[in-house]
Amino acid sequence: MVTQTGSGPASPRRRPFRYRPAMDGETIVVGGGVIGLTSAVVLAEAGRRVRLWSPEEPRATTSAVAGGLWWPYRIQPQERVGAWALRSLEVYTGLLDRPEETGARLVSGVHAATRLDGLGTWAAEVDGLRAATEAEYAPGDGLWARLPVLDMPTHLVWLRRRLEAAGGRVERRAAASLAEAAAEAGVVVNCTGLGAGRLVPDAGMRPVRGQLVVVENPGVDTWFTRTDAGAESTYFIPQPGRLLLGGTAEAGAGSLEPDPRTARAIVARCAELRPEIAGARVLGHRVGLRPERAGGVRLEREELPGGTVLVHNYGHGGAGVTVAWGCAREVAELLAA
């Protein structure tokens, strides 16, 4: 179970967040994926002097490989996820009028083999979420929704620009340890994903390998997801100029090399649902490693010897983009407490 320090989050529709004045000194956010970038943006816009350390450009992180559909997938603990996700949903809804800049669009689709009564209380606050009609999904056991879909490469670039506009800096730097960052700043925020396994160290971290195929979009304008048996899943998500096909969820697998047999199986599963996908030209293959943690997300404050404050924000599994803003705002709350 995750230990939580600070006041619990409320739905963004019930209580606006108010920041206290920022403390003097620098804040270093370690990790340049969507969790790290979003945390850095929230802190910089709250008035903190923020430096973000990342060994790679945002577009080269695991977050850039993500499908980008807002939905709590492979993330724990359930009692915390709903509030984080709803906060993020509110932010993404506010970005929809600038899709070329922010990467955020509203797209309809179906979650197969999913029922409303099997979800948490957060589902009641998602506008329009309902049982799919037979025309939308013939088996009749799915949910229809119109949800934000993020074009992740575009969104990550937008986050970096927003951070820099707020006075933050991105540094190409790999942290050898969290103590290295603590030696340079009074506040450190650990958003290192799988890297937390080594840097904390946290033995509960493990990769969950996801492979997808990128094809020319043959005219598919809705998304679809279904969790299949074992490590397989079936999904397609339309993105500008392309269609993302998936996927896999291979717990403990760490290879970043696309497997040709897996790719063929992904295309075949998707084509069973939309036959036009079978003839779509393949544009590329992607593999990402979801940062899953035993016990779920670690989001808590720690006081280090010497006075540095360390806030951990990692272990988001397959839902980093879904909870990024909610978790980032809770980071700010922990630092303001």
Cβ atoms within 10 A of the Cβ of 37, count? 30
Is 235 annotated to bind a ligand? Reply is yes
Instruction: List all residues 6 or more positions away from 216 whose beta carbon is below 8 Å from its beta carbon.
Output: 242, 243, 280, 281, 283
Per-residue CA distances from 287 to 74, 209, 210 (Å) = 17, 7, 6
Is 308 annotated to bind a ligand? Reply is no
Strand partners, 130: 144
Is 225 annotated to bind a ligand? Reply is no
Is 319 annotated to bind a ligand? Reply is yes
Answer for the pair 266, 197: CB distance below 8 angstroms, yes or no.
Answer: no
Burial of 176 (0-12, 13-18, 19+ CB in 10 A): exposed
Is 67 annotated to bind a ligand? Reply is no
Is 290 annotated to bind a ligand? Reply is yes
Is 318 annotated to bind a ligand? Reply is yes
Q: How far does CA 277 lie from the centroid of its chain?
A: 26
Rounded distance between C-alpha atoms, residue 166 and residue 186, angstroms: 19
Answer for the pair 28, 315: CB distance below 8 angstroms, yes or no.
Answer: no
Is 177 annotated to bind a ligand? Reply is no
* Among 208, 266, 265, residue whose Cα is nearest residue 237: 266
Is 6 annotated to bind a ligand? Reply is no
Is 322 annotated to bind a ligand? Reply is yes
Is 192 annotated to bind a ligand? Reply is yes
Binding residue numbers: 62-63, 192, 235, 290, 317-322
Binding-site positions for FAD read: 62-63, 192, 317-322
- Which residues define the annotated binding site for D-dopa? 235, 290, 318
